[in-house]
Amino acid sequence: MTDASPSLTVRRKRDRQTDDPAVLDEIMAHGAIAHVAMVRDGLPIVLPYLYGVGDLGDGRGRQLLLHGSTGGGLFLDAGEDGVPVSAAITHLDGLVYARSLNDSSANYRSAMIFGRATLVPTEQRLEALWMVGDHLMPGRRAGVREITAKELAATTVLRLPLDRVSVKVRFQGVGEAPDDGEDHGVWAGILPLSMQAGAPITGAVTDAGVPVPADVTALAGTLEARAAERRAALVERLGAAVRPTESTN
């Protein structure tokens, strides 16, 4: 069961394409939602799905794991043979303020995956569900009860191999065509962006006095530390192309 596949060669901004597997791994690790496109009645549909990443031991290596319900559209369409999809995981890492609109841009990391999404076989579904949980809520597995047979029967996981992937990254400073009319007295620079956690909200279903657990606090800390590391890495990479300011030192 193979499908023809769109070319994976980027037509524009080819310098932004990378085949470094570590970059793909990081993009996958830092995301929670994959936008998955499929064709229905000849027309495109794209929907967001929570995802995980894991090796199910089926010889396909690490795959994208999409969580769904047996009643959901994409999962019905998958049927026995699977369904051709394209999935994108994108991180907006910053806005690039140049002194012209044309040179203004965004820093981002994006993975586009092409392939046939197929149902995870029944015997691997339980482990696939835990992998999705582990990806989205690291460390939570220890705090939740076992999955019941009824829950397992009502759930579906689709797997998508990661062997046909196009990765693009912009991780740069301001790139301006020199002196084509911009005002050098106007500020130019990067506004870093990242997903961050706010203070947790405790549900009243929680017994009184139970504190926010370490895994939840740790996830918030991970997001914060990751943003600080990426900002520092960008500053280091740009070197003399950035100017120390009050807000950056």
Q: Which of 70, 4, 69, 75 is nearest to 45 (CA)?
A: 75
Q: If binding is defined by CB under 8 A, does position 27 make contact with a second copy?
A: no
Size of the site for a second copy (CB under 8 A): 117
Question: In this complex, which beta carbon is closest to a second copy, that of residue 59 or of residue 181?
Answer: 181
* Contact call for residues 105 and 96 (beta carbons, < 8 A): yes
Nearer to a second copy, 25 or 127 (CB): 127
| Residues within window 186-215 making contact with a second copy, judged by CB under 8 A | 186-208, 210-213
Q: How far is the CB of 25 from a second copy (least distance, A)?
A: 19
Least separation in angstroms between CB 111 and a second copy? 10
Select 94 or 119, whichever has its Cβ closest to a second copy.
Answer: 94
Concatenated DSSP letters for 158-174?
EEEESSSEEEEEE----
Q: How far apart are CA 177 and CA 199, in angstroms?
A: 43
CB-facing half-sphere around the CA of 216: CA atoms within 13 A: 10
User: How many Å apart are CA 95 and CA 105, to the nearest integer?
Assistant: 6
Residue of 32, 62, 124, 170 interacting with a second copy (CB under 8 A): 32
> Interface with a second copy includes 85 (CB under 8 A)?
yes
Is position 181 an interface residue for a second copy (rule: CB under 8 A)?
A: yes
Regarding beta strands 165-170 and 17-18, do their DSSP bridges make them parallel or antiparallel, or are they unpaired? antiparallel
From the CB of 22, what's the least distance to a second copy, in Å?
Answer: 21
Site for a second copy in 35-64 (CB under 8 A): 35-48, 50
Min. distance of Cβ 192 from a second copy in angstroms? Answer: 4
**Smallest distance from a second copy to CB 208, Å:** 7
CA distances from 165 to 56, 82, 169, 216 (A): 19, 18, 13, 31
